[in-house]
Structures are given as C-alpha cells and as structure tokens.
Structure 1
Amino acid sequence: MLTACGSIDAGNAGIGADGGPGGDGGGGSTGVSPLDNPKGTERGLGTIKSAKDRAAAVAIIEKVPTKGRGPKTGYSRDEFGYAWADNAESIPFAHNGCDTRNDVLARDGEELKYRSGSKCVLTSMTLHDPYTDKTIEWSKQDAAEVQIDHVMPLSYDWQMGASRWSKSQRVQIANDPLNLLPVDGSTNSSKGDSGPATWLPPSKSIRCSYAVRFAQVALKYDLPVTAPDKDAMLTQCR
C-alpha cells in the first residue's frame, strides 16, 4: 500500500534564496505547470520558467493569508477519513469506482498496466518524479518506492484550521487531486508534515511550482500558511 508523509527531515531546514541544498534540477519534469492545472486533474507538476509565469506565480502566493501554526492536539489521520476514499464530495475523480491512490497514479504515470480484470488497480507504471527529476519504474511488488504526497500535509491543515471543519470537508482535502502527487517514496518520507520553510523538493527547478501548488490548495480551502512558509514560497518564484 502506498503511504502518505513520513518523518520530518530537519536537515532541510533554513532553505535560503538560492534554493538551498539538493540537486540543481534539470527541469526534466513531464508534468503540467500548476498555472495551467488549477484543478489538479492534469499530469504531475511541470516547471515554471518564464519571467511572466513566475510573476503570475508570485501573485497567486501573495493571496495566501498567514497565521501562526496551531496545536496538533486531537489530530489523527482518521479525522480525514479512511485512506484514499472514493466517496469525497465535489472533487475530481470521486465516485468513479476507483480509490484515490490509483486515480492519481493513473493521472501521473505512463505505460500503465492493471491487474487482470480490474479497471483500477495498477500493477506497474513509469513515473517521472517531479521532486527528484528521477524516472521510476514502479511495480506494486515494491509499492513503497512511490508514495502519494499530500502537498499541504494533513496535520498542517489540521493546525491551520481544519480541526474546526466538518468531517466531509476533511475527507475532501485528503482526496483532492489538487493536493496529491505520486513521488519518490524516500523523498516524501523526509517531508513529514513540514511547510515550505523547512522542506522543499530536492530538484530546485520544481520549487516554484511546488510553492504555487501549496498556495493553490491553501486558497481553495481558505487555509492560511505560516509567515515563514509564505516567505519561503515567494522566494522560490522571485
């Protein structure tokens, strides 16, 4: 089974204006720019390159309000429904008979192969991981090699206001394809519930796109981010 976020990587804290540690990013992502994919239904996460697009990215991030991160008291994954539910309301891919995990794998993967007799359960695929620029030949036998990242982590959502939401709204953000990316498993495990001030993808070329996607989720669900996280997001696109 694919998993969500793992433990925090303190070694990626304090990322500066030059993007900090990590690969230089070859811009090899085959995904669609978040500027052209506001619903998250198109493949992956493409790079934002031109000055005009970076200015548009900054404009999106600037709309996100800021607030201090609240307590984690009462948080559990179960507060957002059982993992990869197909019963969320008012989001793409819901109620199509396939679980959310397989929906986003199929959205982003290439050369898809399914279990015999199934229209949903993938057994292998090729994934171009935007976070590392690696191409992963994934098979279900080694499922954890690819994990599904909640771009805006669920415990972060909880601390920024989702603790006061209805259960149905929490199920929605947990399964919204706008907030989900299949990525390299070990890289995702290093993220934990970190915001952009303390964790960014290793590939520098995708960091502006990641910041925009984080902002898109925050704006869709009327959630703030912390001031340091917003500063880090803006830095990636300026």
Structure 2
Amino acid sequence: MGFMGDWPLRWWLVLCGFVLSAVMVAVGSVAHHVGSGADPELAGPARIALSALSRVSVLAQRPSRDDYRREMFGTAWSDGVGVTGGGNGCDTRNDVLARDLADTRRAAVASCPRAVVAGEFRSPYTGEFLVFRRDRRAGAVQIDHIVPLAYAWDMGAFAWPPTTRLNFANDPANLVAVDAASNLTKSDQEPGRWMPSNKGFHCRYAIQFVTMVVAYRLLLDRPSQEALRKALQRC
C-alpha cells in the first residue's frame, strides 16, 4: 500500500493522466533518462513530466511581489468551481478528505451531506500515521496546495481572471491531505526551497507540481526547475 492508499494513487494517476497525455502529444518522444524507481506506475508520468519540464518558461528567481492576498483566489474550498468535484454538493476540503483518508466515517454537515468526520491516513509528506477526528483536533490534518497559491500568484496567476484563480485553488490535482506541521513548515515555499521530508513522495510531488505548472501555464524559477528535474530523474 502507498502512503495514501492504492485507490487514491489510481485516482490521481487518472486525473493527472489527462494533462500529461496532452503534454506527451505536444512534446513528442521523451529523450531524457528516468531512473527506475520503487513504483513502476509512476515511471511513465515521470518521463512525460520531465520532458514537459524542459519546455516550461523559467525565470532566474521568483519575483518578489507584495500584492498577494488569499481572497484573490476566491472563497476557500468553494464547491462552485469548474474542476473535478465542483458542484457535487460537498466543499473541496471534504472532497479531498474523502479521497485521501481510509476507514472513514461520514455524517452530514452544513457544507457536505456526507462529510468525513473520522478517518486515518499516512501523511505523504512525512509518512506519519494520523487519525482524523472532526470533533477533536481536526486541524491536525490539513489540505495543502502542491503549488502554493502565493507562488502561483507570483509566477503568473496575478494576471488570471477570477474564475481561473478559483478553479486553481480548488483543483484536486493540486491538493493533498497532509500533517499540519509539514503544511505550516512549507508555507508558500517552492521546490527550490522546500521538498517533503519523505523522499519516497518526491516523485509524485514533482509530477503533480509540473502537471499544474503546465496545465495552468505558470512560470518556474530556476532553482525549482532544477529541484524538480532531480526528483523526476530518480523516479
């Protein structure tokens, strides 16, 4: 079993596959070598992501903007979006909890008729086993944006229309349930400055990061491009 369970991995591969398949058609055959990793299911997506990475527009460093505000990406965890899971009657946070947690119990809450009120999982960022209880330290499990919203803002999202920013903030391909400590430590840092302490998750993390950068046509800073390249080459 993977760090988030077999079903979430299959779901994630299908989700990212749509973008990665389009990338493969656009860039043609892959010439880069990708090492054989522990999970053969990730080898194909890693090769495609590595090829796509070499074609992403890169800046020497992340711009130092001071106009980012969380509200620029709309209401947090809105169900009124045009990405997978939008309009299903449950807010985005509950959608991700339902996807990533195992042995869940459900109950109706204001934002979701079948919300996860209890469950368990291993944080992919650390490998730590966590038990989630909505009525007890619910904040110990948080939903992280793989590509941080502030980073996306700096790298192009400042020019997007509000609808695109709302979709980006709620796109399940950019979201993962993690332990609170890792989420707080990461903050809005990009791969050039932060990667998960669990090296076994670096491959998936890099694939997801590149997938979102390509799908939303974001820029990358040079240190992050190098960090992602190294992670993908180890897949």
TM-score (norm 2): 0.79
Name the structure 1 match of 2:157: 162
C-alpha distance in structure 2 between counterparts of 1:52 and 1:165, whole Å: 32
The one-letter amino acid paired with 1:94 is G
d(CA) in 2 for partners of 1:97, 1:35: 24
Find the residue that maps to 1:156 and give its secondary structure.
helix
- Say what the alpha-carbon RMSD is for the aligned residues: 2.4
Q: Which of 6, 13, 16 in structure 2 is aligned with 1:38?
A: 16
From the superposition, tell whether residues 108 and 32 of structure 1 become closer, same or farther in structure 2 (CA, over 3 Å): same
The Cα of 1:63 is off from its aligned counterpart by: 3.4
Task: Indicate the residue corresponding to 2:199 in structure 1.
Answer: 204
CA contact (8 A) 2:143 2:178 kept: yes
Which residue number in structure 2 is paired with residue 62 of structure 1? 54
Aligned position for 1:75 = 68
Selected match of 1:85 from 78, 86, 96? 78
C-alpha change, 1:122 and 1:200, in structure 2 (3 Å) is: same
**What one-letter code is carried by the residue in structure 2 that aligns with 1:88?**
V
Change (3 A) 1:86 1:36: closer
For 1:105 and 1:92, the matched residues in 2 are separated by: 15
Partner of 1:190: 185
The answer (yes or no) to whether the contact 2:102–2:121 under 8 Å persists in 1 is yes
Q: Is the 8 A contact 1:72 1:155 kept in 2?
A: no
Of residues 13, 24, 39, the one that matches 1:49 is 39
In structure 1, distance between residues paired with 2:172 and 2:193: 23
SS of residue paired to 1:98? coil
* Aligned residue number for residue 177 of structure 1: 172
Work out the CA distance in 2 between the residues paired with 1:198 and 1:139.
32
Answer yes or no: is 1:222 the counterpart of 2:214. Answer: no
User: RCO greater where, 1 or 2, for CA within 8 Å and sep 6 or more?
Assistant: 1
Distance 1:104 1:52, change over 3 A: closer
Percent of paired sites with the same residue: 32
Structure with bigger strand share is 2
Q: Give the equivalent residue in structure 2 for 1:129.
A: 123
Structure 1 stretches of 5 or more lacking a match? 1-25, 41-46
Distance change in 2, residues 1:97/1:36 (3 Å)? closer
Runs ≥4 residues deviating over 4 A: 26-29, 33-36
| Aligned mates of 1:186, 1:128 — CA distance in 2 | 13
* Structure 2 letter corresponding to 1:111: D
Alpha-carbon shift at residue 132 of structure 1 (Å): 1.2
| Structure with higher helix content | 2
Asked whether the equivalents of residues 29 and 133 of structure 1 are also in contact (C-alpha less than 8 Å), the reply is no
- Rounded to whole Å, the distance in 2 between the matches of 1:174 and 1:203 is 24
Unaligned ranges ≥5, structure 2: 19-36
Cα drift, residue 29 of structure 1: 4.5
Shift of 1:58: 2.1
- 1:107 partnered with 2:99: yes
Query: Aligned pair count?
Result: 206
Distance 1:52 1:127, change over 3 A: closer
Partner AA of 1:76 in structure 2: R
CA pair 28-114 structure 1, distance change in 2 beyond 3 A: closer
> Which AA in structure 1 matches 2:51?
A
